[in-house]
């Protein structure tokens, strides 16, 4: 791997991983906001309005950073991956253009009303704007995941041209959109985003309950968050299974990497946790012998192609990394089910709000879906290597010819510096908003903090 490739991959991985902190939070919060404001319209209770306004403030902060870091992603395809852009443009481009024109314009257009329109439009129009922003963000994710899924399981295309001039061109738009993995992966990503937003609401509500502040708001927020997360965590089990199924059929080398399965054709085990030594081709850990074979074929003894069934240059190199990220994601997924349903059970028993240890647990739990979303994508993207478009275009062939290692070094340093600063400021301001809590009483309008924290942003 030469330096340009290494640096470009580091830069892309870093900028996209950083970006991906924010969109799932906005998508998930968007759903919670629809429930909060919907309940306000339905019941007319002031507390729901205050709750909505509070979360709109948090939403604005997250959304703003998501947009700014997202623009970077779009342009990075051209700056660092010019050959890739040319290769996939005919296909990927239409998905990206659809994202911009249908989804992003919708969410960004109505965001202004969501944030600043409280006194300018009627409550119904405001609610409509909230719904449109939430829908826009989900629709955005749809097109991005479609494009990414096409890279995982290309369909509806043919290859035109040869060698360095080859490119994929579209033959069937709907086959491209509904490529074998897009629906399952979209649902998996979307529900992962719901979990991430809902757990932010759960965590902040739990914190306020622990501190005994804004308890009325916190209880209502907790209920909404727990129900969204509870249902989402169960659905995630289903979409996760479906996604794994797609990998089994379309990306066998990735599947073998995820379970550290090397033997050319042997029954494959399923690990709960473990360690892969790629050199000695040994995987050790707690396992269900033949478990993967059972999941795939319903038979513990049926063989599954292992990594050795593939050419060394056609399989991922970071095997233990993919193994670990995959298993961490699964473990967190299971934990979230247990956590949310235990929480809902305690809610039903009317004990939740007084069980301190559980509230403490919930306060910290916000990190779990974040980590799961991140490691899930690491599994998907590192597991796809050495291909950028699976089976068609190698990552090493996709780079910009005009860009030198020192250019990427400069940009990588710039992005690192800016993002570290951005992240610290984000945490500081998020914490400030959370500690401030919902705006309840009318204070002296001359005091700046109240003014800024009440009416949006």
Partner 1 sequence: MDSFLGIDLPTWWFLLIGALVSGYGILDGFDLGAGALHLFFRKEQSRRIALNAIGPVWDGNEVWLVIGGGALFAAFPLVYGIILSVLYLPFILLLVAIIFRAISIEFRSKEPMKWWRQFWDISYCLSSTSIALLLGLVLGNLIQGMPLNANHEFTGRLLDFINPYAVLIAVTVLSLFMLHGAMYLAMKTEDRLYARMTILINNTSKFFILCFITASMATLIYVPHMQAIFHNHPVLFVLPLTAVLIVLNIRQSIEKRRYLRGFISSSVTIALMLVLFAMGLYPNLVLSNTDPAGHISIYEAASTNKSLRIMLLFAGIGMPLVLTYTVFVFWTFRGKVKPDEISY
- DSSP string covering 93-123: HHHHHHIIIIIIHHHHHHHHHHHH-TTTS-H
Structure tokens, 336:
């979230």
Out of 163, 212, 298, 448, the only residue in the binding site for partner 1 (CB under 8 A) is 448
Is the separation of the CB atoms in 186 and 149 below 8 Å?
A: yes
- The 151-170 site mask, x for binding partner 1 (CB under 8 A), equals ---------x------x-xx
Q: What is the chain's alpha carbon radius of gyration, rounded to the nearest angstrom?
A: 23
- Is position 402 an interface residue for partner 1 (rule: CB under 8 A)? yes
- The 350-389 site mask, x for binding partner 1 (CB under 8 A), equals ----------------------------------------
- Is position 109 an interface residue for partner 1 (rule: CB under 8 A)? yes
- DSSP string covering 33-55: HHHHHHHHHHH--HHHHHHHHHH
- Is position 273 an interface residue for partner 1 (rule: CB under 8 A)? no
Q: How far apart are CA 120 and CA 126, in angstroms?
A: 9
Q: How far apart are CA 54 and CA 49, in angstroms?
A: 9
Is the separation of the CB atoms in 376 and 192 below 8 Å?
A: yes
- Is position 115 an interface residue for partner 1 (rule: CB under 8 A)? yes
Total number of residues that touch partner 1 (CB under 8 A): 81
Structure tokens, 326:
């995959």
Shortest Cβ 203–partner 1 spacing (Å)? 21
- Is position 138 an interface residue for partner 1 (rule: CB under 8 A)? no
| Closest by CA position to 33, among listed 130, 113, 166, 156 | 130
Out of 46, 120, 241, 356, the only residue in the binding site for partner 1 (CB under 8 A) is 120
**Sign of the Cα pseudo-torsion (239, 241, 245, 247, in order):** positive
- Is position 123 an interface residue for partner 1 (rule: CB under 8 A)? no
**Sign of the Cα pseudo-torsion (95, 97, 102, 108, in order):** positive
Pick the closer one to partner 1 by CB: 288 or 403: 403
Out of 31, 34, 36, 65, the only residue in the binding site for partner 1 (CB under 8 A) is 65
Out of 60, 278, 329, 358, the only residue in the binding site for partner 1 (CB under 8 A) is 60
- Is position 418 an interface residue for partner 1 (rule: CB under 8 A)? yes
Structure tokens, 316:
């991922």
Pick the closer one to partner 1 by CB: 344 or 405: 405
Question: Phi and psi of 303, rounded to 5°?
Answer: -75, 155
Pick the closer one to partner 1 by CB: 157 or 262: 157
- Is position 135 an interface residue for partner 1 (rule: CB under 8 A)? no
By CB under 8 A, what part of segment 169-188 binds partner 1?
A: 169-171, 173
By CB under 8 A, what part of segment 82-101 binds partner 1?
A: 82-94, 96-101
- Is position 148 an interface residue for partner 1 (rule: CB under 8 A)? no
């Amino acid at each position: 791997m030469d330096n340009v490739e290494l640096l470009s991959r580091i830069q892309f991985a870093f900028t996209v991983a950083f970006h991906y902190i924010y969109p799932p939070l906005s998508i998930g919060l968007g759903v919670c906001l629809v429930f909060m404001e919907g309940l306000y319209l339905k019941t007319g209770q002031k507390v729901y309005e205050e709750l909505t306004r509070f979360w709109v403030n948090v939403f604005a902060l997250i959304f703003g950073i998501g947009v700014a870091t997202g623009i970077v992603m779009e342009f990075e395809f051209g700056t660092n991956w010019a050959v890739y852009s040319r290769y996939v443009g005919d296909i990927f481009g239409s998905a990206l253009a659809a994202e911009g024109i249908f989804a992003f314009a919708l969410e960004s257009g109505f965001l202004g009303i969501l944030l600043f329109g409280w006194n300018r439009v009627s409550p119904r129009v405001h609610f409509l704007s909230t719904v449109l922003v939430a829908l826009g963000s989900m629709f955005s994710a749809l097109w991005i995941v479609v494009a990414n899924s096409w890279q995982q399981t290309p369909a509806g295309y043919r290859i035109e041209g040869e060698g360095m001039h080859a490119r994929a061109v579209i033959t069937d738009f709907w086959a491209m959109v509904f490529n074998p993995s897009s629906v399952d992966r979209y649902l998996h990503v979307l529900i992962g985003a719901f979990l991430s937003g809902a757990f932010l609401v759960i965590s902040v509500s739990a914190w306020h309950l622990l501190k005994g502040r804004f308890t009325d708001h916190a209880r209502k927020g907790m209920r909404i968050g727990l129900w969204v997360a509870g249902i989402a965590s169960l659905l995630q089990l289903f979409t996760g299974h479906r996604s794994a199924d797609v990998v089994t059929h379309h990306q066998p080398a990735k599947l073998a990497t995820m379970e550290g399965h090397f033997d050319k054709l042997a029954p494959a085990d399923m690990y709960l946790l473990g360690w892969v030594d790629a050199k000695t081709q040994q995987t050790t850990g707690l396992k269900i012998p033949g478990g993967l074979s059972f999941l795939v074929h319903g038979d513990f003894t049926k063989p599954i192609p292992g990594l050795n069934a593939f050419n060394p240059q056609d399989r991922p190199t970071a095997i233990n990394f993919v193994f670990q990220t995959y298993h961490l994601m699964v473990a967190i997924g299971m934990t979230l089910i247990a956590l949310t349903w235990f929480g809902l059970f305690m809610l039903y028993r009317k004990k939740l709000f007084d069980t301190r240890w559980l509230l403490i647990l919930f306060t910290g739990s916000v990190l779990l879906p974040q980590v799961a979303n991140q490691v899930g994508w690491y599994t998907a993207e590192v597991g796809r290597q050495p291909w950028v478009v699976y089976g068609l275009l190698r990552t090493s062939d996709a780079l910009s010819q005009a860009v030198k290692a020192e250019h990427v070094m400069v940009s990588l340093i710039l992005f690192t510096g800016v993002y570290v600063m951005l992240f610290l400021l984000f945490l500081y301001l998020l914490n400030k908003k959370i500690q401030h809590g919902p705006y309840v009483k009318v204070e002296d309008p001359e005091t700046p903090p109240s003014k800024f924290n009440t009416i949006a942003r």
